Structure 1
Amino acid sequence: MNLQRYVSEILEDLKINGLDAVKKYSQKFDNYQDEIFLREEEWNVESEIPQSDKNAIKQIIKRLQDYHSKQKTEDLMYKNEYGSIYGLIKVPIDRIGVYVPGGKPLPSSLLMVAVPAQIAGVKDIIITSSPKEGKVNPYIIYIAKELGISEIYKVGGIQAIAAMTYGIGMKKVDKIFGPGNQYVNEAKRQVFGDVGIDSLAGPSEVCVIADETADKDYVLNDLLSQLEHGAESKAFLVTTSKQIYDYCQKEGIDRYFCKDIFECADKANEIAPEHLEILTKEPELILSLIRNAGAVYLGEYTPVPAADYFLGVNHVLPTGKAARFSSVLNLNDFVKYMTVAKVTKEEFLKERYLGIRMAEIEGMLQHKKSMEVRK
């Protein structure tokens, strides 16, 4: 059975049979069939987290807050020469769900979504994460407590996406965020429309542009670090240095030798990587040539892992060449924009001929009458 049909059939079962189906699939995939809502006593995880880790998490939260708070913008409202008011205003999404993988826990993913969501003004944030031996990872719970999130559900996989979308065992959400495996991705694709989704994330990618000034060990280890995500992860080297090209001849690394830095930039734009590191003499100059990348990291002290974990920039990025048309997760992902207009009688009566003629062109006679009837 193909993936699309397999996921579709499970989603349909979940939609029809609700919580019973959620528990059935949780038992099948996670060996768990108890209540999905995290009970009060399960929140007591402080003793499982070393103090040094608690301090690190607090500092990372602060760095994320500092960076993302700079993204706040004012609503656009203005008056024209007629005294009419036009504008574009932001409204935060009411309720979001954050899917945090539980098989290989990724607490950093929770931080990257929840912190900007709160800054954007999202009222309700819930977390779903598959239990391991009946328990949610304590770091996920600790981070939720630090951020004041009070809803965690012990459910993962397709059943978590269905529960958030259709409101099974929980109040439904308006938009789902967070990475997952191919089944989770396909489930998100299929429920889109009933609920919003962030993106359909694929395997992780890194591209490194390096010239002869780059440290070959920095380059190699940065490339290899991305391959640590899994067998499908991708690492690209684009370089003008024969020495670095030869040094990085390792399994899993795709290498491109270029005659100059302009050719390197062209190749990077063609790859459109999730992460792009620029390790050259003057990386800022090359930045002006880059059009397609989820994130760009300049200089030898800005490796991708640092950005993934502690710099404060967001690591939720477009993959699979989606950087050609998609952006890094930012505050705009947690708000909706509404047009506002209040038109004066003077402007309407003087300019309505434009709308009347367009209604005639389209054959929309009641639209025309709506404008003509006003005096």
Structure 2
Amino acid sequence: MNPLIPGRAPYALITDDDIIIRMFAREALEQAGWVVEEAQNGSEACELFQKCPPDVVLLDVMMPGMDGFATCAALRRLPGGEHTPILIMTGLDDFESITKAYDAGATDFIVKPLNAMLLTHRIRYMVRADQVLQELRESQATLTQARDAAIEGARLKSEFLATMSHEIRTPMNGVLGMTDWLLDTPLTAEQLDCAQTIRSSGDALLVIINDILDFSKIESGKLSLELLDFDLSTFLDRVMALFGERAQRKGLLLTSRIAEDVPGSLCGDPARLQQILSNLLANAIKFSEHGSVSVLVELDQRPAEQGLEFPATRYGEPSAQQEQVTHIRFSVSDNGIGIEPSAFSKLFQPFVQADGSTTRKYGGTGLGLAICKQLVELMGGHIGAESEPGSGSIFRFTVPLQQPLANSNRRREAA
């Protein structure tokens, strides 16, 4: 029994029109524990192969009718023949014949006259190599199935999250709408406090729902970017105004500055830029108890050949990658609790916060920074952070933005 193939003796098919060669090869293989079948020509070899595929084929080159090259190619086309080891036995040791044998699909070749020890060792090596390759193919097939299952699972998860987010958001909008109506009616102090609590809790829940919806869209590749002209100063003032009251309630100084060399008018997706910047500002304020939170907008010099990869807009404009691109860096600094060095690897992972205890104290889904990273990368930029525990953090992201063309007919964002 051959230890390489447990459970049965290995089976070899010898094909040669020379009976002496067949007898010699048979004797050598049978002494090594092989079961041997013989064929006198290529046609007979193909018939025997189809009846019982062998573990290895020994094939002579010079035969009447189908020569060894043609037989090898024919065997490769048979079911199960694409991976069967085929050893060409040839008296021709010139480069052209050897190349022709490999081109026909031969696994290896051996030169006549045959040496019994070399023949059995060569075949043993071929079978072992074939067995390893077969195991690798099976492992690859298993990994491919597992990968496909994981991709399908991720797709179903994203669809489920998107569906649930939509389904939850619909009644939540009703809750918020009715709460707004309630707040406009005469209420006692206690009723007013309850209604305001419902409103703030609903707003917080809606933020979570929107985060999940955006995350699922990005994961499924369904989130697209717009290409709009906008005024940077107006944009930044609008974003900062959203957080003025929140920072004031915590006694934080909220400031912003745009470097002098930054263009005033830019072209990109201001809504998604606002989402990124708002996430970073919300975190900075949430994790700060004193000091200040500041935003700095400046140029980040990048090679001019790096283009902006925004998709075509719905306004029917052609790709604008030839337009001038400016890399703009936004930095959000705070004097908050900071981040431990060991937690940096978790910063931009979805559903994870740098320190699990912050979830209990500050709340949140852990999706904000993950969404920021995905949006920044979708725009062709990058994001990072630096921090010292107890001394605050700085989050920076750089995105390539186009400069509007003069006399452009592109739709402009209302200031």
- Fold in common (TM above 0.5): no
What TM-score range do you get, normalising by the shorter chain?
Answer: under 0.3
Higher relative contact order structure (alpha carbons within 8 Å, sequence separation ≥ 6): 1
TM-score (norm 1): 0.27
